[in-house]
Amino acid sequence: MAKIIDGKTIRDYNLNLMKEEVAALNEQGIYPCLAVIIVGNNPASRVYVNNKKAACDKTGIISREYALPEETTTDELLELIDKLNADDEVSGILCQLPLPQQIDKEKVLERISPSKDVDCFHPENIGRLSIGNGIFLPCTPNGVMKLLEYEGIEVAGKRCVIIGRSNIVGKPMAMLMLAANATVTVCHSRTENLSEITRQADILVAAVGVPDFVKADMVREGAVVIDVGINRNVNERLCGDVDFKEVAKKASYITPVPGGVGPMTITMLMRNTITAAKNS
């Protein structure tokens, strides 16, 4: 039976370290500050923003919230971002996704200064990441790396298979794994013989967005299974991309949903905010 990787425990460990780091920075006159923009009344977005504020409170990072109405235009949002880019007291800027349909998401994400792009979505920061010279590391993939590091799971030389090629998880996850000297395969909806490939994985990362997509027969005995998915099943219960109950019987380590990767995403956002403050 797999050992369950407890993301909440690892989150708390990292946040406590960051709290000490922020206190030391404050003594030097450096005050990390995260500005979070939320547009509209998406209930899930509100939960995420509240969780980010709570993480700021735990670490001593200053939190600013900018709540804009649903009918906000692209130009109005860009104007706010320009003001925050120019504000020396703001270390990092995050625009909570999804945005209302009338807003040009790409324009918004590219308007945030690369030096304040703590989500690591700006093309410049993704480019830097691809050549191993990133200012920031993408929050969810870096959270996965921290889970593995905490558990003492060796990545170098291992075969890592990632299911999913999104810009937020799949692609940057592959880059971080490569940087850690893993041999990486990225699978997606057009991949043929998927199960044959996933059964070769020492570390299997599922980021496909389909409830219980990864079945036990897709997993090699003793593999490390990381579930990045956050879905609702037919009973409206929160679940991941992995059939947890069955896969846990074969894996050596596995992350649960909720309580696995999720807590680490916001934790790594705090790490990027501290990095931004140090570099400002």
Token match 């219980």: residue? 212
Give CA separation, 104 vs 34, 74, 98, in Å.
22, 6, 11
Q: Are 119 and 52 in contact (CB under 8 A)?
A: no
Phi-psi region of 26 (alpha: psi -120 to 50; beta: other; left: phi over 0): alpha
Active site residue 52: yes
Q: Is 203 helix (H, G, I), strand (E, B) or coil?
A: strand
Active site residue 96: yes
Catalytic: which of 117, 119, 202, 241?
Answer: 119
Cite the DSSP H helix spans in the chain: 7-27, 43-59, 74-86, 105-111, 123-130, 139-150, 170-179, 194-198, 244-247, 262-279
Distance, CA of 254 to CA of 257 (rounded, Å): 10
Q: Which residues of 133-148 are buried (b: 16+ CB within 10 A; e: fewer)?
A: ebbbbbbbbbbbbbbb
Query: Which of the 8 DSSP states describes residue 96?
Result: P
Catalytic: which of 52, 116, 171, 250?
Answer: 52
Active site residue 158: no
Q: Are 159 and 200 in contact (CB under 8 A)?
A: yes
Is the four-CA dihedral 280, 127, 51, 8 of positive or negative sign? negative
Give CA separation, 227 vs 43, 108, 206, in Å.
23, 29, 5
Question: How many residues are given for the chain?
Answer: 280
Percentages of the chain per state (helix, strand, coil), in multiples of 5: 45, 15, 40
Catalytic: which of 96, 171, 227, 243?
Answer: 96
Kindly list the catalytic residues. Answer: 52, 96, 119
